[in-house]
C-alpha cells in the first residue's frame, strides 16, 4: 500500500512540473514572444535580426504554449480560454517562415513533361538537368577526419527559369557549408541527378538503380558567378526556390555555377553515354 502511495505522489509531482508545458514538435525552434508573423517576404533587416537565431538555436524543443488548465480541463473549458484571448495579441512566428513560401511564388509548370526517348541522350541529359530541383554534389573533403576522401552533399539547383533552360547549373551557397570549404581547396566536383526525383520512375515501377531510371552526372569546376551573370543566376535560383530570398544575409550567401568538363548519362540497359559538351548545350529540353 505504501508503495502505491509513493507511485501516486511521484506522478502528481511529475504532472505538476510539466503542467504548463506541451511538446509542440520534435523539431520546434526557440521563438521569442516578441516575434510576429509578417506578411510577404522578410526584408534584409528582418532577415538578419530574426532568421539567424532560428537557424542556430537547437535547444528550444519545449516552450510555454498554453495555461495549465488547457491540459487538464475539459474541451469546453479550453474553448472558453481560447475565446477569452485578447484580439490584439500577435501570433507567434516560427522558423517555418524562413524555410517555406507560398506555392504561387514558384514559377513552374504543374508537372514536368514526359522524358525524351532514351535514344536522344543529349536531350535526356538536358531534360534531367532542367527539371531537377536538387542534386548530390561530391567534393574532395577538407574535414580533418576524412581529409582527401570523397564527401557528398545535397544542394538545390537550377539551370534557369522553367521557360528558359541553359544547361548551366547554378547554386546558392554559404561559406559556412563544409562543401564550400572543400571547393576553396579543390574546386572540381561532380553533381549527380536521378530521374527518381520525379514521378516517371515511380509510375513505371523502376527502382532508382534500374538503368531505365536515368541518372546524370555532371563533372567540372565550381566557380563564382560573375557580375555580368548575377541577375540571371538570381532569377534562375529564386524563381525555382523562392524561399531562398528569405534566408539570413548574415550567412553571406553567394552564387556559384558548374563549368562542365564531362556529361555522363545512363538512361537505358547496355552501357553509358559520354555526351559531347557541344551536343549537350545546343540541345533544348523544352
Per-residue pLDDT of the chain (286 residues; tens, 9 = 90+): 555 555 555 555 555 554 444 444 333 333 333 443 334 444 444 444 444 444 444 433 333 333 444 444 444 544 454 454 445 544 544 455 555 555 545 554 457 899 999 999 999 999 999 999 999 999 999 999 999 999 999 999 999 999 999 999 999 999 999 999 999 999 999 999 999 999 999 999 999 999 999 999 999 999 999 999 999 999 999 999 999 999 999 999 999 999 999 999 999 999 999 999 999 999 999 8
Vertex 81 angle, CA 15 and 76, to 5°: 85
CA gap 235, 107 in Å, rounded: 10
Task: State the pLDDT at residue 19.
Answer: 47
Nearest-Å Rg of the Cα atoms of the chain is 25
Nearest to 118 by CA among 215, 43, 24: 215
Place of cell 504543374: 110
Find out whether 261 and 220 touch, Cβ atoms under 8 Å.
yes
Nearest to 125 by CA among 259, 263, 237, 262: 263
| CA separation, residue 148 to residues 65, 143, 159, 285 (Å) | 48, 8, 29, 36
Place of cell 572543400: 182
- Whole-angstrom distance between the N-terminal and C-terminal Cα of the chain? 78
Beta strands (DSSP E) in 34-79 are none
Nearest to 187 by CA among 252, 261, 274, 129: 261
Task: State the pLDDT at residue 142.
Answer: 98
Find out whether 20 and 62 touch, Cβ atoms under 8 Å.
no
Task: State the pLDDT at residue 111.
Answer: 74
Task: State the pLDDT at residue 102.
Answer: 58
User: Helix, strand or coil for residue 54?
Assistant: helix
Three cell numbers, residue 200? 516517371
CA gap 88, 272 in Å, rounded: 63
CA gap 284, 198 in Å, rounded: 19
Find out whether 280 and 166 touch, Cβ atoms under 8 Å.
no
Find out whether 29 and 229 touch, Cβ atoms under 8 Å.
no
Task: State the pLDDT at residue 32.
Answer: 38
Amino acid at each position: 500500500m505504501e508503495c502505491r502511495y509513493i507511485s501516486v505522489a511521484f506522478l502528481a509531482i511529475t504532472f505538476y512540473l510539466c503542467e504548463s508545458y506541451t511538446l509542440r514538435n520534435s523539431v520546434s525552434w526557440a521563438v521569442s514572444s516578441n516575434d510576429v508573423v509578417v506578411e510577404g517576404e522578410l526584408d534584409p533587416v528582418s532577415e538578419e535580426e530574426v532568421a539567424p537565431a532560428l537557424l542556430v538555436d537547437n535547444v528550444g524543443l519545449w516552450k510555454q504554449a498554453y495555461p495549465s488548465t488547457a491540459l487538464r480541463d475539459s474541451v469546453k473549458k479550453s474553448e472558453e480560454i481560447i475565446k477569452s484571448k485578447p484580439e490584439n495579441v500577435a501570433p507567434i512566428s516560427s522558423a517555418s517562415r524562413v524555410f517555406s513560401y507560398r506555392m504561387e511564388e514558384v514559377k513552374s509548370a504543374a508537372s514536368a513533361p514526359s522524358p525524351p526517348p532514351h535514344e536522344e541522350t543529349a536531350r535526356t541529359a538536358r531534360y534531367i538537368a532542367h527539371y531537377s530541383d536538387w542534386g548530390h554534389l561530391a567534393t574532395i573533403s577538407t574535414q580533418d577526419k576524412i581529409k582527401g576522401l570523397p564527401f557528398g552533399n545535397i544542394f538545390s539547383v537550377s539551370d534557369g527559369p522553367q521557360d528558359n533552360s541553359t544547361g548551366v547549373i547554378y547554386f546558392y551557397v554559404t561559406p559556412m557549408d563544409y562543401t564550400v570549404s572543400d571547393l576553396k581547396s579543390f574546386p572540381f566536383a561532380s553533381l549527380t541527378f536521378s530521374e527518381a526525383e520525379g514521378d516517371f520512375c515511380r509510375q513505371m515501377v523502376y527502382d532508382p538503380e534500374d538503368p531505365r531510371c536515368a541518372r546524370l552526372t555532371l563533372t567540372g569546376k565550381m566557380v563564382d558567378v560573375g557580375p555580368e551573370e548575377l541577375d540571371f543566376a538570381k532569377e534562375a535560383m529564386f524563381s525555382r526556390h523562392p524561399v531562398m530570398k528569405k534566408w539570413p544575409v548574415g550567412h553571406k550567401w553567394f552564387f556559384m555555377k558548374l563549368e562542365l568538363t564531362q556529361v555522363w548519362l545512363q538512361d537505358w540497359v547496355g552501357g553509358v553515354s559520354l555526351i559531347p559538351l557541344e551536343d549537350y548545350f545546343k540541345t533544348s529540353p523544352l
